[in-house]
Structure 1
Amino acid sequence: MLDKNMIRWEQGSDGVVVLTLDDPGQLVNTMNQTYVDSMEATVARLEAERETLAGVVLTSAKKSFFAGGDIGLMSRARPKDAAELSELCTVLKSQLRRLETLGRPVAAALNGTALGGGLEIALACHHRIALDLPGSRFGLPEVTLGLLPGAGGVSRTVRLLGLQDALADVLLKGQQYRPQEALTKGLVHELAPTREELLARARQWVLAHPDAAQPWDTKGFRIPGGTPSQPEVAASLPVLSAQLRKHLRGANMPAPRNILAAAVESAQVGLEAGQKIETSYLVELMTGQVSTNMMQAFFYDMQHINSGGSRPDGYPRHTARRVGVLGAGMMGAGIAYSCARSGLLVVLKDVSHDAARKGKAYSERLVGKAVARGRLTREAADEIIARIVPTEDPADLDGCDLVIEAVFEDPGVKRRVFGEIEGVVAPDAVLASNTSTLPITGLAKGVTRPEDFIGLHFFSPVDKMPLLEIITGEKTGPHTVAKAVDFARQIGKTPIVVGDSRGFFTSRVISKFIDEAVAMVGEGLHPASVEQAGSQAGYPTPPLRLLDELTLTLPRKIRDETRAAVLAEGGQWRPHGSEQVMDRMIDEFGRGGRSSGAGFYEYTEGTRKSLWPGLYEHFTVPGREIPFEDMKERMLFAEALDTVRCLDEGVLRSVPDANVGSLLGIGFPAWTGGVLQYINGYPGGLPGFVTRARVLAARYGERFEPPASLVAKAERGERYA
C-alpha cells in the first residue's frame, strides 16, 4: 500500500471507476515520483479488478488537469543520468500502454489545462472530453523547452492525426490550443459546459462503449495520410526536412530535428517500438545543454518574474482603471489597444482630435481582423473599441490613475505633454514614459511628483510583443514600481524591472549585437556571411535586416547623444568599428533603412529584395575572412559581456530579468536560455567563457575583455543564478 497515492479511486454502482489525480504536495499534478508510484499501483489494481469494472474515467481535483513533466528532474539531467532517464521513460510509457489496453473503455474528463505529459495521459485514453473553459490550453509544448514529449506523445499524435498534421499542428512548434481549437484539431472529442456535465458525459460514454479501443489497436488500422514507406509520404519528407531547415536556419536547436526524426521513424514500426525510438531521442535532448538552458529561462526565470519576483514587497495589489495615453502614433495606438483589450478605459490624446481618431482606428483594424478570423465576437470587439476615447483636450484625462506618454524621443516635447495633464489626472496617478533610450531621472525633472514617475518601455508591435521593460529613476518610489508591475500583469505583459541609464538594458544591449555585425561589414567581411552568422547563431532576424527595420538614423542619433553625454561627464569615448559604416551609409549613400526605401538591403515598393550590391563595392575586401565561429560569437559575446556590465552598474537587478528580457525583448537566441544563461552554459562554464572572451579580445579589440566581476565569479566556481 502506498503511503501517498495521488490517484483517488471511486467506483460507482454502475461499475465505472473514477480516478481523480490530486497530488497532495503540489498545486498542480506533474509526472514526479509520486505520480509514477501512484499510477503503477492504480494500473496494477485496474488489471487485478478488471472483471468487476465497467470502465474508467480519469479526471483531476486541481484547477488544471495535469501540468506535465517534472521540470526539476529534467533540468538536472546530465549525460551520466541517461540510463536512469531511459528507464523512467520506459515505465511511464508502459503504464499508459497498460491503461489503454486494459480491455475496458477509458475516458479522460479534462477539467482544465492539459499540456505536455498531461495531454499524453489523455491521449492514452479512448475518449477525451474537455471542460469548455476560456483559460484552458491543450498541447505538447515540449519543443519550447528544448525537449520532445516523453510519454508517447509523438507516436500517438502521429497515429491520431497523421504524420504531416501531427508535426505541423502539435509537435514542431508546441502550439497551445483553446478548447474549441483542440476540438477542431482532433486532440479532444467533445466539450462540456460544466464540470458536472463533464463527468456525467464521460461516465455515459464509458457505459455506451464497452468494447472501446484505440484506433491503432484496431484491426486494419492505417496511419492517416499513410506511412513513410508509401511513395507519396516518402516524397513529402524532403519537403518537411527542407521547411524545418529553413525555419531553424542552422541555429543550435536540436529538439525540432529530433522530433521530426522520432515521428518519421516511429511511424514505420509498431507503437511500442516507436515509443522506444522516442525515448532515445528524448534522453539525448534531456541530457544536453540546450534543454537545460531553455528550461532555466522559459520555466524557472519566467516563473520567477510572473510570480512577482521583481515587485517590491509590502504594497497592496493595484488595479489600474482609467489610463491616459499621450500620443496616438504607432506606439501610443498599440498601448491603447493593449489596455482596452484588457478591460481598461483609455483616453487617447494627441495634438488634434483627428490624429487621436487615427490612433483609435488602429484598434478597429486589429479587432476587425480578429472577428474575421473567428477569434473574437462582434460584441466583444465593439466593447474593446468603446473603451478608447480619442481626444485633443487635456481635461479629458480627468481621473486617470495612470498616464503613459508615447510622443517623440525629445525631452522638451515630453516635458510639455506632462505639464498639460499633471494637474488634471488623479493626484496619485503613475506618470510613465514609453521612452526607449532617454534616462528616466532626467525626464522626471519635468514633473512635480518624481516619486510617481517611471519608465514603461513597450516593444513594437505592442499587441504582439510580450515584454514590458520597467525603468526606475533616482527618485522613483517603490510604490510606483509595484503599481507598474501590477499594471504589466493586468494587460498580460511580462515585466522586467531595470535601473536607469541611457538605453536601459534592452536598447543598450541589442545595439552591441548590431554594432558588431556592422563592424564586420566595415572590416571587409562578406555581408551575406555576416547575415548567415546571425541566423546560425540563432537570432530570429539577421542583424543587417534588423537594422534596416529599425532605421539606420535612429541608432546613429542615439550614438551621437550617448557620446555627447559621455564627453560632457568628462568620460572617454571609444569609437566602434560600426560608426564609419553607418555614417557612410547615411551621409555618402543616402541609405537610411527600409522606411526610406534603401538600407543594407534593396527594396521595391517597400518589399525587401536582396542585399545592396554597393556593400560589396564599397566595403567588402575579396578574400578577407575570419573563422565563422568567431563571426557568430562576436555578436553573442558582445551582448553577453555588456549584460555583465549592466549587472555591475546596477542597470540590471536580477539574472531572471536579464535572461527573460533578452529573450522576449531583443531576440537573443532561444537555445541559449538568455544572455546570462548563455555564459553559464558555455562549454567549460564561466571559466570557459572567460577564456574565449580573452581570445576574441586579442583578435578583435578590448571590448571583448571580460569584466573583473565575471573573472572573479569564474575563479570562485560560481554561476549567474
Structure 2
Amino acid sequence: MTTQYDHSMFRWERDADGIVTVTMDDPGQSANTMNDRFIRELPALVDHLHAEREAITGVVITSAKKTFFAGGDLGMMMRCTTDDLADVTAMLDGVKEALRRLEMLGRPVVAALQGAALGGGYEIALACHHRIAVDRPHVSVGLPEVTLGLLPGGGGTTRTVRMFGVRTALQQILLPGRKFRPQAALEAGLVDELVTGPEQLAAAARTWIAANPEPAQPWDRPGHQIPGGTPDSKELAAILPSLPAVLRKQTHGAPAPAARNLLAAAVEGAQVNIDDAMAIESRYCAELICGQISANIIQSMFFDMQAINRGASRPEGYPPYQARKLVVLGAGMMGAGIAHVGATAGLEVVLKDISLEAAERGKGYSAKILDKAVERGSTTPEQRKAILARIRPTDDPADAAGADLLIEAVFEDPGLKRKVIEEAAAHLGPDAVLASNTSTLPITGLAESAPRAEDFIGLHFFSPVDKMALLEIVVGEKTSDATLAKAVDIARQIGKTPIVVNDSRGFFTSRVILEFVNEAVALLGEGVPAASIEQAATQAGYPVGALALVDELTLTLLRKIREETAASHRAAGSERPAHPAAPVIDRMIDTFDRRGRAAGAGFYDYADGRKTGLWPGLKDAFGGTNTTIPLIDMQERMLFAEALDTIHCLDDGVLRSVADANVGSILGIGFPAWTGGVLQYANQYAGGVPGFVRRALELTHQYGDRFAPPDSLVRKAQNGEDYR
C-alpha cells in the first residue's frame, strides 16, 4: 500500500514499509532551484514529515529532473541590493532552519543523487544522513559558489567545516569551488556510497535505512569535535595566521570578497555552536548576494555563458554538424594543442608539419599531457592509448584526404598560411570547413586564395589549448552562415566556449589585450617603477603582470602588429597617432636587444626560461622614480583602455553581442573576473554608465585623448542605457 501527497515542488510517496520517497520536481522549471516556490514549500514539507514521524521509518530525497538540484535562484540573487540585506538574511535563515529540522527528524534521511548536486543541491544532500550517488560521468557534487562570487549559504559552509575541519574544508572544498565526479567525491567523503545506475538508488537507500534506524549527524552526537580542532586549539591556531596570507597570495590583492567571507564564516563558525555558526554563515552570504561583484560574475559566467553555450550566435536553420576527421597544419605548440583537443574529443587527427620529425614532436606534446593525466588518475592508460592512436603525424599533404575540417596553425605569415592551406585543401572533402588559427591577420584576406571562400573561417584558439576554454570564431566577408553554424558546433564538439566576431585586424581579443599591455608599457615610459605597474595590474584582478605578459607575447610581435596596423590605416587613407608605448618598445628592442622571454631577455630577466625578476636596467633606462600617479589611476588606465576599445569594437561591427565581449574578455584575455567582463565593467562602474563616462573624461584630461569616450557611449549615458 502506498500513501501519496502532492505539494507543488515536492511529491511524497510512503510505501507499506513506512519509507517516504520525496521527489523534487519544480513544475515551472527544467531544473530544481532554491526559488520562491522552494523557499515557501520546504518548511511545509519538513512540517509534514515531523507530523507523520511515527508512521515513517525513513526518508529518501530524490529528483525527477536530469539534475538532483541546480542550486540557488541566480536571477533573484542578481536583483538584490544592499536594501534587501535583511530580507536575504531572513530567507537564508529560513532555508537553513528547515534543513536543520530535516536532519533532526529522528529518522534516517538519504539523498539519492541521480544527477548533479551542486551548490544548494549539495547543501540539501549535506542535511541528509547518508548520500548515495550514481557513478556516471554526468553526476557531480560540490560547492562551487565562490566561482560566482558567493559562498554556500544553505548550511554548506558550516557543515563541511564540521565534517572535514576548517583547513580541509577551506582548502579542498570551499575556496577552490571544485566539482567532484562520483569516485573523487567518494574518496573525499562528500558522498558515502556509489551505485552503477539510477535503478539501484532506491534499493541502496532502503538497505541503509534498514541498517540505521536511529541516525544522527556527526555534529549532533555527544562529544563531537571538529577535525583538526577549533581556532583556539594549538594545532589550528598555529595554522590560522597563514590562511589570510595564502588567500592574498592566490588573489594578488584583487577584489575577492567571496573568498574573504568564506574564510571568515568558516573560522568564526568553528568557534560557536552549529546554530550560531549557521547564523554567521547567513550574514556573510547575504552580504555577497547583495553586493555588486557577485552580480557581475553571475551575469557573465552564468547568464552570458549560458546564452553562448546554447548557441545564441549560431545561425538558425542549419542541421547539427559533427566533424569526423581533422587535419592540423603546423605541429608547433598551438597546432599540437589543437590536435590534442581534437583527438580527445574523438576526432581522427592528421597532424602535418614540414617534416615527419616535427610532426612527431607535436604528437609528443599530447603524450606528455596524457602522461600527467594518468599520473593524476584523471585518465586511464587505455584512454591515453586510444587518444594517441587517433593522432597521425605526417609531412604529406595527401594524408588530409577525406578530412571534413582543416585548421591551419603555422607562423603569422600570410604567404605561408595560404601556401599550406592550398596544399592540403586539394585533398579535403567537398564541404570541409577551412579554418585559420591566426590571432591577428584578417580572415577575409587569407580566404582570397582558398578554393571556397564561403567555407573559410577563423578559429582562434588560446594557449595552452588544452586548458583555455575559449574559441574565438572569426567570420570573414564571404564566410557563409552554414560554415558559421558548423564552426559553432565544432567548438561544442571539442569542448570549447565559442564567441563569434566579425573580421578585422586583431579581431576582438588580440586587439583589445594590446590596449592593456600598451598602457602598462606607457606607464613605464612615464617613469613609474616597473614593480608598481605589475602590482597595479594584479591588484586590479589581472592574472599576471602586464609587463610579464608582454614578455610572453614578445616585444617584437607588439612592434610588428603596430607597424602592420599603421600600414593598413595608411592604405585606407587614415592616420592614427602612435601609442606612447611605442618608443619604449622600440628602445627595449633596438638599444638593449631585449625582445621577450623567448629571447631570454625582456622586461624580466630569465634563467633556463624561468623569470628571475624584473630587469634592473629598467630604472636607468626609463627613470623608475615617478610615484605621483595614484595606484587607482594606473589600474583604471588599464581597465578603461580595454573597455573603451571594446566599445569601439561594438561600434565598428567587430563584436556581435555583449555576451561575447564579457565572456571572451574573461576567458580569453584575462580581464578581471570580478568586473563581470569588459562591458559589464562599464555598467557596474560607480554611477553606472554616466559615472564611467565622467571618469573617462577625467582620464582623457589627465592622460590623453585615447581615453575619450566614444559618442555611442555618451549617448547611452544620456539615455539611461547600459550594455545588455
Equivalents in 2 of 1:697, 1:266: separation in Å? 48
Q: Residue 679 of structure 2 aligns to a residue in which SS?
A: helix
Q: Establish whether residue 426 from structure 1 lines up as the match of residue 433 from structure 2.
A: no
SS of structure 2 residue aligned to 1:225: coil
Where 1:90 maps in the other structure, the secondary structure is: helix
1:264: which partner in 2? Answer: 267
Q: Deviations over 1:182-203 (max 9, x none)?
A: 1111111111111121221111
Contact 1:408–1:414 (Cα < 8 Å) also in 2: yes
Match of residue 167, structure 1, among 165, 170, 175: 170
1:67 aligns with 2:70: yes
The one-letter amino acid paired with 1:83 is: A
- Residue type of the partner of 2:585? M
- Whether the aligned pair in 1 keeps the contact of 2:149 and 2:297 (CA below 8 Å) is yes
1:72-83 correspondence runs (5 A): 72-83=75-86
C-alpha distance in structure 2 between counterparts of 1:510 and 1:84, whole Å: 41
Q: Conserved in 1, the CA contact under 8 Å of 2:308 and 2:499?
A: yes
Q: Closer, same or farther in 2 for the Cα pair 1:215/1:624, shift >3 Å?
A: closer
The answer to whether residue 355 in structure 2 is matched with residue 361 in structure 1 is no
Matches within 5 A, 1:390-539: 390-539=393-542
Q: 2:199 aligns with which of 196, 200, 220?
A: 196
Are 2:130 and 1:145 equivalent residues in the alignment?
no
Corresponding pairs, count: 721
Shift of 1:4: 5.2
Q: Which residue of 2 aligns with 1:299?
A: 302
State the partner residue of 1:663.
Answer: 666
1:219 aligns with: 222
Question: What does the per-residue CA deviation read over 1:92-129, in whole Å, with 9 as the maximum and x for residues that have no partner?
Answer: 00010000001111111111110000000000011111
In structure 2, the partner of 1:560 is: 563
Please give the secondary structure, in 2, of the residue aligned with 1:236.
coil
Match in the other structure for 2:252: 249
What is the distance in 1 between the residues matched to 2:39 and 2:390?
50
Structure 2: distance between partners of 1:529 and 1:141: 33
Q: Structure 1 residues 618, 316: CA separation in 2 closer, same or farther (over 3 Å shift)?
A: same
Match of 1:102 among 96, 105, 108: 105
Equivalent in the alignment of 2:138: 135
Contact 2:5 2:11 in 1 (8 A): no
Q: CA deviation at 1:573?
A: 2.4
Give CA-to-partner distance per residue, 1:642-663, whole Å, 9 cap, x none.
0000000000000000000000
Counterpart selection for 1:185 from 188, 191, 204 = 188
**2:621 paired residue number:** 618
Q: Retained in 2: the 8 A contact 1:2–1:38?
A: no
Q: Which amino acid letter does the alignment assign opposite residue 32 of structure 2?
A: N
**Do the aligned partners of 2:462 and 2:668 also contact (CA within 8 Å) in 1?**
yes
Scaled by the length of structure 1, the TM-score of the pair is 0.99
Q: Select between 174-183 and 617-626 the one with higher mean Cα deviation.
A: 617-626
What CA distance in whole angstroms lies between the structure 1 residues aligned with 2:352 and 2:249?
44
1:92 alignment partner in structure 2: 95
How big is each residue's C-alpha offset from its partner over 1:131-183, in whole Å with a ceiling of 9 and x where there is no partner? 10112211111111111111001000000111001001111121111111111
Q: How does 1:699-714 map to 2 (within 5 A)?
A: 699-714=702-717
Q: Is the 8 A contact 1:465 1:665 kept in 2?
A: yes
Instruction: Give 3-state SS (helix, strand or coil) of 2:611's partner.
Output: strand
- 1:41 match: 44
Distance in 2 (CA, whole Å) between partners of 1:435 and 1:606 is: 25
Q: Which runs of 5+ in 2 are unaligned?
A: none
1:715 aligns with 2:718: yes
Asked if the contact 1:162/1:224 (under 8 Å) is kept, the reply is yes
| Alignment partners' CA distance in 1, 2:364 and 2:253 | 40
Provide the rounded CA distance (Å) in 2 between the counterparts of 1:263 and 1:486. 43
The one-letter code matched in structure 2 to 1:211 is E
Match of 1:312 in 2: 315
Q: Decide whether aligned partners of structure 1 residues 364 and 688 sit closer, same or farther in structure 2, where only a CA change above 3 A counts.
A: same
1:232 paired with 2:203, answer no
The alignment's TM-score, normalised by the length of structure 2, stands at: 0.98
Which runs of 4 or more aligned residues in structure 1 lie more than 4 Å from their structure 2 counterparts after TM superposition? 1-4
Residue 687 of structure 1, aligned match among 685, 690, 695:
690
Q: C-alpha displacement at 1:341, in angstroms? A: 0.1
Could you tell me how far 1:229 is from its partner in structure 2?
1.1
- 1:45 alignment partner, SS class: helix
Residue-by-residue CA offset, 1:48-76 (whole Å, 9 max, x unaligned): 01111101111111111111001111011
Residue 390 (structure 1) shift: 1.1
Whether the 8 Å contact between 1:79 and 1:288 is mirrored in structure 2 is: yes
Decide whether the 8 Å contact of 2:462 with 2:470 is kept in 1: yes
Q: Secondary structure at the match of 1:598?
A: coil
The letter of the residue matching 2:124 is I
Q: CA deviation at 1:38?
A: 2.5
Per-residue deviation, 1:623: 4.4
Match of 2:158, as an amino acid? S
Alpha-carbon displacement from aligned partner over 1:281-312 (angstroms, at most 9, x marks no partner) = 11111111101100000110000000001111
Do the aligned partners of 1:5 and 1:37 also contact (CA within 8 Å) in 2? no
Letter in 2 for 1:462: V
CA contact (8 A) 1:4 1:34 kept: no
Tell me, yes or no, if the aligned pair for 1:8 and 1:21 is still in contact at 8 Å.
yes
